[in-house]
Structure 1
Amino acid sequence: MSDSLHVVCPHCDTVNRIPKARLGDQPTCGKCGKDMFLGQPLELSGKNFPQHISRNDIPVLVDFWAPWCGPCLSMAPAYAQAAQQLEPNLRVAKLNTEEAQELAAGYAIRSIPTLALFKGGREVARQAGAMSAAGILAWVQGHAGA
């Protein structure tokens, strides 16, 4: 097993190789020089979603949401709070299903909010419905060991 992980930059979508031992040392992107971890959910689009899901060696947690969804909006602060605790061992992201309808349909998102956990480019767990920050953390730990 390698001592480095591939992590996609949240700003320029470039894949960076980061030593595992340095993951928590606030690494910066080798291309754009910005922080690799934001401490808040990363807004994904239909364009950069595949790159972040398939090229990250760390697990990626995605909140499929919509701006008109009351439970989605009420869960947003809890999701942001969970992001602060989960990064850098896990990338925390959001996908607006209104702006990426085909992508959401391709993943058979039937209700929102839906959390999906990806590892190695594959979905490994899914949970529909709003959750508290503690609930999100417990669910992720149960499925990712993060």
Structure 2
Amino acid sequence: MIELTLENFDQEVVEQDKPVLIDWWGESCENCIALMPAVEELSEKYGEQMHFTKFNTSQKGVRRFCIKHRIMGLPVMSIYIKGEKVEELGKDDCTKENIEALIQRHI
């Protein structure tokens, strides 16, 4: 999985030909950290069909960026196609099964 930053976001999300999954997470979000192994496993399973990335919302200077992308709580899994957010799962809906169904809808 690619670790996103403000510097590589356009290259890794906007300019991708494949659909992109972004795992929005934070260092103090226990649910986010608990989900990581499941998302890594899905990345290995579907990595040929979808570009898997993660964005640490705890990075310095990203608050406005996260608000711009409507990330108000964590965890959030978003699907972007050609730079546009097309669907996302938030908080209680972020289970391995729901994330896999989200991926399958967009590959």
TM score, norm. by length of structure 2: 0.89
Match of 1:124? 86
Whether the aligned pair in 2 keeps the contact of 1:62 and 1:117 (CA below 8 Å) is yes
Counterpart residue type for residue 128 of structure 1: G
Match of 1:3? none
Match of 2:68? 106
The answer to whether the aligner puts 1:71 opposite 2:49 as a matched pair is: no
Larger Rg: 1
Q: Distance in 2 between matches of 1:93 and 1:103?
A: 16
| Structure 2 gap segments, 5+ residues each | none
Higher relative contact order (CA 8 A, sep 6+): 2
More helix per residue: 2
Counterpart secondary structure, 2:100? helix
Q: Distance in 1 between matches of 2:63 and 2:38?
A: 24
Q: Distance in 2 between matches of 1:57 and 1:112?
A: 27
The answer to whether the aligner puts 1:59 opposite 2:19 as a matched pair is: yes
Counterpart secondary structure, 1:61? strand
Whether the aligned pair in 2 keeps the contact of 1:64 and 1:104 (CA below 8 Å) is no
Q: Distance in 2 between matches of 1:101 and 1:66?
A: 12
Whether the aligned pair in 1 keeps the contact of 2:77 and 2:89 (CA below 8 Å) is yes
Q: Deviations over 1:102-131 (max 9, x none)?
A: 221111101111011000111100110231
The share of aligned pairs that are identical, in percent, is 24
Counterpart residue type for residue 116 of structure 1: S
Q: CA RMSD in A?
A: 1.1
Deviating beyond 3 angstroms after TM superposition, the runs of 4 or more aligned structure 1 residues are: none
Whether the aligned pair in 1 keeps the contact of 2:21 and 2:79 (CA below 8 Å) is yes
